[in-house]
């Protein structure tokens, strides 16, 4: 068991290192560099100042040297300084983590619970009206681009029914502490979380419907029914518990893909999360910040994969360390 764990950790470490190097390469391939952006934000920059900035950021070094310096830094737990904001990358990331976590955890959990529930209900009568409704809902949810959904909601809630704020996480100048501050954040969370959840919901409900239907046709369900268990018990205890495995896989994967899903929603709703920061950092060629975020995201994927494996074993005792 310990050997297994160590081996996994070693794999993960090598994987992370490879990811970091690849990211580094990709970012440096894109045309233009951070000094260009900084010059842009300044309305021009003299040669001397540019040279000074380049030297300061190490951009005057050969690519491999830059990579070496960066890897060495990362191995020492230092993510460096943001070129654009001139602040430690770790600080910038930590500042944004809570917003992204709040958004993603809320929407993924909401989608997971409702999706599984709806899917299971639909699986009972695959041709009933409820099932048709769920199918329709998931087709809409799955095919409507998330930014489109967000914009439609903004239009709806900005002009027709102005009951939810359509951007930011807090009201400007409002008190941030205590219950009032929390309610303010929750109020702002409604639309972005709903937008993101809607997409996930489609996936979960389809998946749950299919796998529960599959489970319902299995022999042990017939046995369960034959020994006189109530339909409820059959559905939730036997069929769902078996059928939910793929959905959990999905959940694990999705938590890993935190950023991918969040970037669009965060951009549309000006939600101050990591996704927005990543997007802006690409535009600014802010290499250290972007690399830091990507590293953080990769780390998250690795951790979530391990946790998903763990969750399998809890849900289905048949699965042993493989």
Partner 1 sequence: MRIRQAMVAAAASAALACSAWAAAADAPVRGGTLVIGSTQVPRHLNGAVQSGIATAMPSTQLFASPLRFDADWKPHPYLAESWDLSADGKTLTLKLRKNAVFHDGKPVTSADVAFSIMAIKKNHPFQTMLAPVEKVDTPDPLTAVVHMSQPHPAILLAMSPALMPILPKHIYDDGQDLKTHPRNSAGVVGSGPFTLKEFKPGQEAVLERFDKFFLPERPYLDRVVIKINPDATNLLIGLERGDIQVLPYMTDPTILRRAKEDKGIVMTDRGYEGIGALSWLAFNTARKPLDDARVRQAIAYATDKKFIVRALNAGFAKPASGPIIGTSPFAANGLPDYALNLKKAGQLLDEAGFKAGADGERMSLTIDYMPGSDVQGKNVAEYLRSQLKKIGIAVQVRASPDFPTWAKRIASHDFDMTTDIVFNWGDPVIGVHRTYLSSNIRDIIWTNTQSYRNPRVDELLEQAGRETDVEKRKALYGEFQKIVMTDLPIMFLTVIPYHTLSVQRVHGLPDGIWGLLSPLDETWIAK
Task: Measure the CA–CA gap between 15 and 295, rounded to whole angstroms.
Answer: 11
Helix or strand or coil: residue 238? helix
Helix (H) or strand (E) holding 122: helix 89-124
Q: Which two tokens stand for residue 74?
A: 């990362």
Which of 42, 310 has the CB closer to partner 1?
Answer: 42
Question: Among residues 58, 133, 145, 162, which is the contact residue for partner 1, using CB under 8 A?
Answer: 162
Asked if residue 183 binds partner 1 (CB under 8 A), the reply is no
Q: Which is nearer to partner 1, 70 or 81 (CB)?
A: 81
Structure tokens at 96: 């944004």
Number of chain positions touching partner 1 (CB under 8 A): 50
Query: What residues between 250 and 289 interact with partner 1 by CB under 8 A?
Result: 267-268, 270, 272, 276-277, 280, 282-285
Unique residue bearing structure tokens 């904001």: 85
CB of 77 to partner 1, least distance (A): 20
CB neighbour class for 144 (10 Å; exposed up to 12, middle 13-18, buried from 19): middle
Name which of 267, 247, 244, 246 is nearest 195 in CA terms: 267
**Among 13, 36, 140, 233, interactor with partner 1 by CB under 8 A:** 36
Binding segment for partner 1 among 10-18, 38-46, 240-248, 304-312 (CB under 8 A)?
Answer: 38-46
Give the nearer residue to partner 1 in terms of CB position, either 117 or 157. 157
* 111 vs 145: CA distance, rounded Å: 16
For partner 1, the closer of residues 86 and 127 by Cβ is 86
Dist CA 94 CA 91 (whole Å): 5
Among positions 50-109, residues that touch partner 1 (CB under 8 A) are: 50, 56, 82, 84-87, 92, 95
Burial of 78 (0-12, 13-18, 19+ CB in 10 A): middle
Could you say whether residue 223 binds partner 1 (CB under 8 A)? no
Single residue of 71, 109, 158, 248 touching partner 1 by CB under 8 A: 158
User: How far is the C-alpha of 118 from the C-alpha of 131, rounded, in Å?
Assistant: 8
Range in contact with partner 1 (rule: CB under 8 A) among 13-21, 159-167, 203-211, 313-321: 159-167
Give contact residues for partner 1 (rule: CB under 8 A): 30-34, 36-47, 49-50, 56, 82, 84-87, 92, 95, 154, 158, 161-163, 165-168, 171-173, 267-268, 270, 272, 276-277, 280, 282-285
């Amino acid at each position: 068991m310990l050997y297994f764990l160590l081996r996994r950790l070693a794999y993960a470490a090598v994987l992370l290192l490879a990811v970091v190097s690849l990211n580094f390469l990709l970012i440096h391939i894109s045309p233009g560099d951070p000094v260009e952006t900084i010059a842009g934000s300044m309305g021009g920059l003299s040669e001397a100042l540019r040279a000074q900035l380049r030297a300061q950021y190490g951009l005057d070094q050969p690519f491999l040297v830059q990579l070496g310096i960066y890897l060495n830094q990362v191995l020492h737990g230092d993510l460096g300084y943001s070129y654009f904001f001139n602040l430690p990358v770790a600080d910038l990331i930590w500042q944004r983590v809570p917003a992204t976590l709040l958004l993603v955890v809320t929407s993924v959990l909401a989608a997971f619970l409702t999706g599984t529930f709806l899917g299971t209900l639909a699986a009972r009568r695959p041709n009933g009206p409820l099932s048709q409704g769920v199918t329709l809902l998931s087709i809409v949810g799955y095919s409507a681009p998330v930014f489109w959904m967000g914009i439609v909601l903004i239009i709806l809630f900005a002009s027709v029914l102005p009951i939810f704020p359509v951007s930011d996480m807090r009201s400007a100048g409002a008190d941030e502490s205590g219950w009032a501050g929390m309610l303010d954040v929750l109020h702002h969370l409604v639309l972005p979380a709903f937008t993101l959840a809607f997409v996930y919901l489609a996936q979960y409900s389809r998946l749950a419907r299919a796998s529960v239907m599959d489970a319902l046709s299995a022999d042990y369900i017939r046995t369960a029914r034959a020994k006189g268990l109530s339909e409820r018990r059959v559905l939730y205890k036997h069929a769902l518990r078996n059928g939910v495995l793929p959905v959990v896989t999905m959940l694990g994967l999705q938590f890993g893909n935190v950023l991918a899903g969040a970037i669009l929603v965060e951009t549309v709703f000006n939600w101050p999360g990591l996704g927005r920061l990543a997007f802006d950092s690409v535009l600014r060629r802010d290499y250290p910040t972007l690399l830091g975020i990507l590293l953080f995201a990769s780390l998250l994927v690795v951790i979530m994969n391990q946790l998903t494996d763990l969750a399998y074993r809890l849900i289905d005792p048949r699965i042993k360390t493989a």
